[in-house]
């Protein structure tokens, strides 16, 4: 099932693994998440000096791999010399479709995956409906069929996964993902540096020793806050949430607060060598990210 598929033979560029990237690049540059559902202005992106970029999964089990927008973007980025982490979701794939996706990913040079369960509505059916009900099921399949070709990242949730009833359950599920073959943890966003630090302390107490890449949103508006509050399941008494509630009709103040908060978080994470450099969730707002990273470098 590995990519001996004659359809995918030929000379294609091959990405380095994340381990190779981190070993050769001692500068603590941020990395960036991209989406194929919005334009990627490569002239701006290529000036950002990032360690690697991840590409959000927008595929489906009934689409040919070479026709999936995120695969097209990954191929283009790799051909330009950028290190790519390809997102792949468990419940959006069958064993057959995942094999096709990974054969093609290997052909275009992908060496790194971020493996996720999947959060779209089609991923909300009963577990028995899926070949891979949970992320560890997919990880085990990948390791069994592709060995160590792909370095695998999994998601961590600083506020606890929304489907976990307790923090203990959340740590158990995270450890299952790590034990199934993961090499790195990329976190969901937090609204303070202390949240990330507490997450790191908690996973270490639970014998989860993988390197952690903290994921950060650069918050620019009340819409961002509301979206992140929903995605990250941020507690209602979090200071950031309280600020937004008190200033919900003051867009400029919220934008300024969000920018300042994100800057403080990223500065501390870059300086904290217990973490790998942070991963910025860009929403393809490249000009804003360009200004954000520029301001970080100017105020080191």
**Mean pLDDT over all residues of the chain?**
87
pLDDT at position 6 is 54
Q: Convert the pLDDT of each residue in 243-299 to its tens digit.
A: 877 887 787 888 888 888 889 999 999 999 999 999 999 888 888 888 888 887 765
In the prediction, which pLDDT does 228 show? 67
Q: Which domains does the chain have, with CATH numbers?
A: 6-221+255-298 (3.20.20.220)
Taking Cα atoms as reference points, which of 227, 212, 213 lies closest to residue 283?
A: 227
- Pairing of the two strands 215-217 and 212-213: unpaired
Mean local confidence (pLDDT), 45-53: 89
Nearest C-alpha neighbor of 116 from the set 46, 174, 199, 65: 174
Q: State pTM to two decimals.
A: 0.91
Dihedral angle, C-alpha 44, 48, 54, 59, nearest 10 °: 0
What pLDDT, on the 0 to 100 scale, is given for residue 27?
79
Q: Looking at the predicted structure, is the pLDDT value of residue 147 above 50?
A: yes
Burial class (CB in 10 A: 0-12, 13-18, 19+), 206: middle
């Amino acid at each position: 099932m590995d990519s001996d598929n004659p359809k995918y033979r030929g000379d294609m560029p091959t990405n380095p693994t994340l381990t190779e990237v981190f070993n050769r690049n001692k500068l603590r540059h941020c990395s960036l998440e991209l989406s194929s559902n919005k334009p990627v202005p490569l002239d701006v992106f290529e000036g950002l000096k990032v360690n690697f970029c991840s590409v959000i999964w927008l595929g489906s089990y009934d689409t040919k791999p070479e026709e999936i927008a995120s695969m097209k973007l990954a191929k283009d980025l790799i051909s330009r010399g950028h290190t790519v982490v390809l997102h792949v979701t468990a419940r959006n794939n069958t064993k057959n479709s995942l094999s096709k996706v990974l054969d093609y990913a290997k052909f275009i040079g992908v060496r790194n995956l971020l493996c996720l369960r999947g959060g779209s509505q089609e991923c909300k059916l009963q577990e028995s409906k899926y070949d891979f009900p949970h992320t560890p099921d997919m990880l085990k399949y990948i390791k069994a069929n592709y060995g160590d070709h792909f370095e695998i990242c999994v998601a961590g949730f600083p506020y606890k996964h929304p489907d976990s009833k307790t923090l203990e359950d959340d740590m158990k599920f995270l450890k299952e993902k790590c034990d199934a073959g993961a090499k790195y943890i990329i976190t969901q966003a937090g609204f303070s540096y202390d949240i990330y630090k507490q997450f790191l302390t908690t996973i270490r107490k639970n014998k989860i020793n993988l390197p952690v890449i903290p994921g950060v949103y650069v918050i620019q508006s009340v819409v961002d806050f509301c979206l992140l509050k929903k995605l990250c399941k941020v507690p209602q008494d979090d200071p950031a949430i309280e600020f937004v509630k008190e200033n919900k009709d003051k867009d400029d103040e919220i934008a300024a607060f969000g920018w300042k908060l994100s800057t403080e978080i990223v500065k501390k994470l870059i300086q904290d060598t217990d973490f790998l450099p942070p991963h910025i969730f860009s929403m393809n707002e490249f000009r804003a990210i360009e200004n954000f990273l520029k301001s970080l470098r100017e105020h080191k």
